[in-house]
Amino acid sequence: MPLGLLKYGFSNDYPIEVDLPAPKALKKRYDVVIIGGGGHGLAIAYYLAKYQGITNVAVLEKSYLGGGNTARNTAVIRSNYLTSEGVKFYSESVDLFKNLSNEFDFNIMYSERGQLTLAHTDATVRAFRQRAEVNKHFGGRTEMIDRKQIKELVPCLNLDPAHLPVLAGLWHMDGATARHDAVAWGYAKEAAKRGVEIHQLTEVQDFVVNRNQVTAVKTNRGSIECGCVVQAVAGTSSLLMNKLKIRSPIQTFPLQAMVSQPFKPFLNPLVSSSALHCYVQQTSRGEIVFGGGSDPYPLYNTRSTLDLKESLLAHAIEMFPFMANVKLMRQWAGMTDMTPDYSPIMGQSPYDNYYLDAGWGTWGFKATPICGKTMAELVATGRTPDLIKPFELSRFSRFQQVNEMGATAASH
Amino acid sequence: MKMMRCPLNGLRNISEFSYGGELKHMPDQNTCTDEAWADYVFNKNNTAGIVLEWWMHTPSSYWFIAERHTVTDEMIRTFDPQEIFNQRVEFTQATVAEKTPVSEKQGALA
């Protein structure tokens, strides 16, 4: 039998599935050039090819596919935000995520667990009430729960950590997780199948600008003419925007996270506490993922620091005391493009044919599908979809921020 | 732990310091446009390289300026703000500037 299997593997009958076509030379011109081959860039390419019929598209990635923040986030999917703009946008994303495995015919390991956020103060309880109502109003499944219900959901949780007893919880049933790499691979595979060219190790170094148009991008593999350009380079958004002299409020901070050795399943929901600056979840592989707030000062670096790791773990152990004996397996950092209102910067730029997909701070992964869909619509039609209109860069010069700080900071 | 040299207190742990933002020039709020003011309030250079920024030694509430590399995280130099802000800011001129445009505006409206 094993020999037969081996023979079959090497025979011509064996169905070889090519995920990505082999790299080829860059064409002279593309209708759409997408800078950044992470989840967002690949999703934009996919929705352009599948729903907008635009296939003369190049995705340029300076390193390898999905190797930036797509690989570094903690894979939390949720929509329990505070503003109506935020809730509407992220809810659509959650809906798209649910069907992605089917759409790709590729398992992204989407797993609906529910997300539990803990309130340790009366002020947080009030904010949670508001978030629960806003969420319900827009069709989300979110409710307030008490200590007894929390205990039932997460029996191993310490409800009285030090000086911060848990008062109530925000239970968001739509909360979920998925395999982040698979999301990028699924989009890449399906986009490539429809004719999108994906070029790795291709770095955009400069732009050619004619009046108010970006006419070409200069890469380390030569210059390419373009109909329009989309930038989706989380972590280095400012560096590209600075080349075009686009002013933005983005500031780049490292965000550190870590993962433990694998355990038997014991923690179903994603648990987070903004007062303890910590969130904890168990992946489908059994590892415990720990995440917290961004570093205290800006930096373009993915280095890790012991002091942040220590304070994050001290808080995690307050929540789950038995984890004191857990061994860590990996730790890493990503670069987050933070905005002052904790909402993204999407849509038009001061240039006619240059589109921004930036300012994704610590909330980019969960928006991958909806961001790809709406940005593709913008690129194809030239009109900003209503869903992302509030997130335009120009909101800052109009003093119309979309404040999601309370619903975002350290609760991803 | 990473250390930073406070110009007043010497070498201290980085956890004793608070980051205070990029050093930038404030436009005259009485005469600048809303857009220029929004640019000052929100926008950042977010440079990858050597920058000048405000820092505070939290226990002593002492503000100073640091020259730092935002890619390598090297603290190159820290110094007292007096090196840059060596002149007294007079607000009398601002008051005059505040009055003039308002009266002009009213005149234009009338």
pLDDT digits (tens, 9 = 90+) for A279-306: 999 998 899 999 988 899 999 999 999 9
Assign residue A175 a region (left: φ > 0; alpha: ψ between -120 and 50; beta: otherwise): beta
- Predicted local confidence at residue B50, as pLDDT: 98
The domain that holds A124 is classified in CATH as 3.30.9.10
- Give the pLDDT of residue A293: 86
Contact assessment for residue B66 and residue B55, using Cβ atoms and an 8 Å cutoff: yes
- Assess whether A164 and A187 both reside in one domain: no
Which chain A residue has its CA at the smallest distance from B48's CA?
A: A300
Q: Does A394 touch chain B (CB under 8 A)?
A: no
Averaged over A114-140, what is the pLDDT? 93
- CATH number, domain at B35? 3.30.2270.10
Give whole-number Cα distances, A211 to A109, A244, A352, A380, in Å: 46, 12, 10, 22
Residues 6 or more apart in contact with residue A125 via CB below 8 angstroms: A119, A144, A167, A168
* Euclidean distance between CA atoms A364 and A357, whole angstroms: 10
Chain centre to alpha carbon of residue A122: 30
CA A155 to chain centre: 29
Q: What is the pLDDT of residue A8?
A: 86
Q: Has residue A273 been placed in a domain?
A: yes
Q: How many domains are there within chain B?
A: 1
Our CA-based measurement puts residue B107 at a distance from the nearest CA of chain A, in whole angstroms, of 26
> Of all helices (H) and strands (E), which one includes residue A204?
strand A204-210
Most confident of A11-20, A277-286, B15-24, B94-103: B15-24
Average the pLDDT over each of A166-175, B3-12, B90-99 and give the range with the smallest value: B90-99
pLDDT-based confidence at A56, cuts 50/70/90?
Answer: very high
Same domain, A298 and A358: no
Residues A330 and A258 in one domain: yes
B19 and chain A: CB distance < 8 Å anywhere? yes
The pLDDT confidence band at residue A12, using thresholds 50, 70 and 90, is confident
- Cβ atoms within 10 Å of A187's Cβ, excluding its own: 35
Mean per-residue pLDDT for A243-250?
97
Report pLDDT for A169.
96
Does B110 score more than 80 pLDDT? no
Mark whether A197 and A324 lie in a shared domain: no
pLDDT score recorded for residue A277: 87
- Residue-wise pLDDT tens digits, A151-167: 999 999 999 998 899 99
In a domain, A359, yes or no: yes
Looking at the structure, tell me whether residues A38 and A153 fall in a common domain. no
Separation CA A37–CA A39 (nearest Å): 7
Nearest to A239 among B15, B34, B48 (CB): B48
Query: Which residues, in sequence order, are bridge partners of residue B63?
Result: B56
Nearest CA in chain B to A339: B42
Is A13 part of any domain? no
Binned at pLDDT 50, 70 and 90, residue B108 comes out as very low
Nearest by CB: B38 against A239, A305, A399:
A399
Residue A387 DSSP one-character state: G
> SS3 of A47, please?
helix
Lookup: tokens for B82: 């007096």
| pLDDT tens, position by position, B11-27 | 999 999 999 999 999 99
Cβ-in-10-Å burial (0-12, 13-18, 19+) of A222 comes to: exposed
From A301, A317, A338, the end of a domain falls on A338
Please tell me the number of Cα atoms within 13 Å of A258 on its side-chain side: 20
- What is the domain extent for residue B105? 3-109
ipTM score for this prediction: 0.89
Same structural domain, A170 and A265: yes
Q: Does A350 touch chain B (CB under 8 A)?
A: no
Residue A381 touches partner B, C-beta closer than 8 Å: no
Q: Which domain holds residue A369?
A: 27-73+181-249+341-408
Angle at A35 between CA A32 and CA A37, to 5 degrees: 110
Instruction: Please indicate if any CB of chain A lies within 8 Å of the CB of B35.
Output: yes
Task: List, for residues B43-95, the tens digit of each pLDDT value.
Answer: 999 999 999 999 999 999 999 999 999 999 999 999 999 999 998 877 665 55
What token pair was written down for A42? 């690949």
* Encoded tokens for A39: 């989840």
Q: What is the overall mean pLDDT for chain A?
A: 94
Domain boundary among A285, A316, A338: A338
At residue A361, what is the residue type? Answer: G
- Contact residues, chain B, for A394 at CB < 8 Å: none
Q: Is residue A94 part of a domain?
A: no
- Do A190 and A276 reside in the same domain of the chain? no
Q: State how far Cα A353 lies from the chain centre.
A: 25
Q: Provide the 8-state DSSP code for B44.
A: B
> Using the beta-carbon criterion (under 8 Å), do A307 and B1 form an inter-chain contact?
yes
How far, in Å, CA of A323 to CA of A173, rounded? 25
Tell me if A248 and B43 make a contact (CB, 8 A cut-off): yes
| Co-location of A227 and A260 in the same domain | no
Which residue of A lies nearest to B55 if distances are taken between CA atoms? Answer: A297
**Cβ–Cβ contact B106 with A under 8 A:** no
Per-residue pLDDT of A339-352, as tens digits, reads 999 999 999 999 99
b (16+ CB within 10 A) / e for A267-295: bebbbbbbbbbbbbbbbeeebbbbbbbbb
> Does A295 reside within a domain?
yes
Least trusted range by pLDDT, from A79-88, A323-332, B26-35, B92-101:
B92-101
Average pLDDT of the residues in A315-338: 94
Confidence of residue A4 (pLDDT cuts 50, 70, 90): confident
Tell me which of A236, A250, A253, A300 to substitute to probe the interface with B (most B C-beta atoms closer than 10 Å). A300
**Does some domain include residue A97?**
no
CATH of the domain at A375: 3.50.50.60
Q: With CA atoms as reference, report the closest residue to A267 among A291, A249, A283, A243.
A: A283
**Strand A115-119 and strand A251-262: pairing?**
unpaired
Note whether A52 and A189 are same-domain residues: yes
Q: Between B15, B38, B73, which is nearest A307 by CB?
A: B15
* Listed residue (A401, A257, A277) closest to A342, CA to CA: A401
Please give the residue that has the higher pLDDT: either A11 or A119.
Answer: A119
Residues A169 and A255 in one domain: yes
| pLDDT at residue A21, rounded to an integer | 87
| Candidate from A250, A303, A398 with C-beta closest to B44 | A250
Where a domain ends, among A303, A338, A373? Answer: A338
Specify whether the CB–CB gap between A316 and A154 falls below 8 A: no
pLDDT at B104 over 50: no
Taking residues A171-192, report their average pLDDT.
96
**Would you say residue A46 lies in a domain?**
yes
pLDDT of residue B89: 76
Could you give the number of structural domains in chain A?
2
Range A190-209 average pLDDT: 97
A58 and A190 both lie in a single domain: yes
| Tokens at A290, concatenated | 């720990």
Residue A299 pLDDT: 97
- Torsion, CA A36, CA A42, CA A43, CA A44, rounded to 10: 60
Specify which of A49-63, A265-279, B26-40 reaches the highest per-range mean pLDDT: A49-63
- Identify the residue among A243, A251, A307 best suited for mutation to test binding to B, counting B beta carbons within 10 A and taking the highest: A251
Same domain, A312 and A256: yes
Give this prediction's pTM.
Answer: 0.92
DSSP for A252-303, please give it: EEEEEEEEEEE-SS---SEEEETTTTEEEEE-TTSEEEEEEEEPSS--S---
Question: At CA A406, angle to CA A402 and CA A412, rounded to 5?
Answer: 100
